Amino acid sequence: MGEAETGQPAAVRAGRHWYVIRSKPRRERFVAEQLASQGMEVFFPAVKVHPINPRAARERAYFPSYLFAHVDLAEVGLTKLRWLPAAVGLLEFGGEPAVVPEVLIVQLRRRVASIQAAGGIVFADLKKGEAVQITSGPFAGYEAIFDLRLKGSERVRVLLELLRRHVTVELDAGSIRKLSAKEQDDQDRRRGRRRRGGG
C-alpha cells in the first residue's frame, strides 16, 4: 500500500514516537485538548506570565504554535493529525514527519518546570531602566530598576537604591513586578524631593 491508500508515507516509523504538531496562533491548548480527548499523550509546554495589561493572557506557549504528541503514526494515521481543527499539521522535513528524541522532551519538561518554580515569566514586557517593585524575599516592598535577565537562568538583575547608591541584586524572575504609570510618577516625584532636600 502507498500513501494514497494509508494516509501516511512509507517512511513512517513503527511504534510510538514524539512528533511536533503545528497549530494556528494562540490555539495550542485547544489542539492539545483535542488530542488528549482522543487518548493521545500530549506535551504542551506553557508557562505562567505576569503581563502589564491585566486583561492579557496569563499563560503563554513556550514555543508559540507548537506542541508535541507521543503517538504511533502507523496506527493513528497522518490524516487525523493533518486535518485536526485549529491544527496546521505535523512538522515535516523532506515530506517526512520530524521525530523528537525522548531525551529532548525530558529536558523541555525540566526547563518549563524550572520557569514555573521561579514564578513564571515577568520580564517579557520589561526593558532595561524600567522601574519595578520587589514582591518577595528580604527586599520585598523595595522599588528598583530593571537591569537585565541573566542568561541561562530564570533570574533577573535589578539595581536597588540603598543609602543613595545603586546596588546590584539578583532575584528570581517571579520576585518583581513592573510599576504602573502612576506609581512611576510618584517615584519620580519622591526622587525629585530627595534631590532638592539633599542639594
Give the DSSP H or E segment for 165: strand 165-172
Residue range 93-117, pLDDT digits in tens? 888 899 999 999 999 899 888 878 7
How is domain 11-117 classified at the CATH fold level? Answer: Alpha-Beta Plaits (3.30.70)
Are 173 and 126 a contacting pair, CB within 8 Å?
no
Predicted pLDDT at 154: 66
Give the C-alpha separation, 115 to 113, whole Å. Answer: 5
In the chain, where the domains are located: 11-117, 131-198
CATH class of this structure's domain 131-198: mainly beta
Residue 177 has pLDDT above 70, yes or no: yes
Instruction: At 109, list the grid cell.
Output: 519538561
Residue range 131-153, pLDDT digits in tens? 888 887 778 888 888 888 776 55
Q: Count of residues for the chain?
A: 199
* Phi and psi torsions of 128, nearest 5°: -55, 135
Q: How confident is the model at residue 30 (pLDDT cuts 50, 70, 90)?
A: very high
Give the C-alpha separation, 43 to 197, whole Å. Answer: 58
pTM of the model: 0.59
**DSSP letter assigned to residue 85:** T
3-state secondary structure of 66: strand
Predicted pLDDT at 10: 44
Average pLDDT, the chain: 80
Give the C-alpha separation, 188 to 30, whole Å. Answer: 44
